[in-house]
Amino acid sequence: MRIVVETVFNERKPRLLLGYILNSVSNSALKVLRCPITLAICRQVATVMRIVSIKTQTNSHIAVELDAGFAKLDFENIPPVHSFPDSTIELIRDWDSLKPRVALSDTDSLIAKSEVQLRAPIANPGKIICIGKNYAKHAQEMGSDPPSIPVVFSKFNSAIAAPGAEIVLPKISQKVDFEAELVVVIGKAGRFIDRADAMSHVFGYCCGNDISARDWQKEKPGGQWLLGKTFDSFAPLGPCIVTADSIPDPHQLEISLRLNGETMQHSNTSHLIFPIDFLIAHLSQFVTLEPGDLIFTGTPSGVGAGRNPAMFLKPGDRLEVEIEGIGTLSNQVVDC
């Protein structure tokens, strides 16, 4: 990604205006910056844009994550004046007009990571669409053949859990399992999307954990996939949204899950049976995909139910989903 950089001066100190326009950062573009701290921030953002939702003691903000802390996104002090989006979904919806004007807060006003609580990057998506059995080895460990068309199910918004939030074991399930997943965040609305154009509808990517009550999903009459997948806190999401232009190839990402520090799942998104462009084109034949919609793309092998003997989550367990280029999503398991 190349960023066009210009320094906008006010009476106190320079601010940084960023625009996603070109393909790589050029030395000539960087020469316009005189402040070493600002230059360092520019280089960080140029590499990966991580958008987060944070809560401080006094307020909530949409911010960009940097090594030194969080920088609040600010559109109100850079002309032309633009009111600040009330939610990440509004930011995504207006991203094409806002991204050339993304401004970072003053460099001495970065919020320390120790002073904030991360929230789910998207708390109320229009849709949470999930894909089952999308890695062949996972389908096999669950006793199934790889599907010929995507297996699609959903979760309710109340299932979303923030980074660091607790995963609550339901009283009515004794077989709660984990599933590390790459989550696609839709950026541009569309229906009947052509596969060749599908990736242009992606805003970015998150880590997700498709927590699953196997006794409800597989052992109840009729197969209760929805109920088994959508208990409160069963969709941890985060720790950020990495914008699509920061991920050169989402089908070449290492993905893993650790349970109490031990690696249980490890694979690569290159093993997806149905890649992201296919999923978007396929799903758009049924529903209109809208900004902020989430697509959980499926989990690799190594889940608890696929082991011999099977193993399931218990109070005190800590789960960490890590995806290359995105980060680590960590959650603790507690009893109801």
pLDDT over 70, % of the chain:
79
Give the lowest-confidence range in 28-37, 73-82, 314-323. Answer: 28-37
| Fold classified for 128-335 | Fumarylacetoacetate hydrolase; domain 2 (3.90.850)
Say how far apart CA 51 and CA 56 lie, in whole Å: 16
pLDDT in tens, 246-275: 999 999 999 999 999 999 999 999 999 999
Question: Which stretches within 230-330 are classed as H helix?
Answer: 276-283
- Model pTM score: 0.86
**How confident is the model over 199-204, as a mean pLDDT?**
99
State residue 39's pLDDT score.
40
Give Cα 280 to chain centroid, integer Å.
Answer: 16
**How confident is the model over 163-177, as a mean pLDDT?**
99
Region for residue 245 given its phi and psi (left: phi exceeds 0; alpha: psi -120 to 50; beta: otherwise): alpha
220 has a pLDDT exceeding 60:
yes
How many Cα atoms sit within 13 Å of 321 on the Cβ side?
30
Residue 120 vs residues 9, 51, 185: alpha-carbon distances, Å? 34, 11, 13
Token pair of 334, please? Answer: 């507690």
Q: Are strands 166-169 and 327-335 parallel, antiparallel or unpaired?
A: parallel
What is the domain partition of the chain in residue ranges? 2-119, 128-335
State residue 101's pLDDT score.
63
For 18, the 3-state DSSP assignment is strand
239 has a pLDDT exceeding 90:
yes
State residue 14's pLDDT score.
37
**How confident is the model over 92-112, as a mean pLDDT?**
74
Give the lowest-confidence range in 8-22, 222-236, 266-280. Answer: 8-22
State residue 45's pLDDT score.
46
Closest by CA to 238, choosing from 322, 332, 150, 154, is 322
State residue 26's pLDDT score.
35
State residue 223's pLDDT score.
84
**166-169 β-sheet, strand order:** 166-169, 327-335, 318-323, 254-259, 262-268
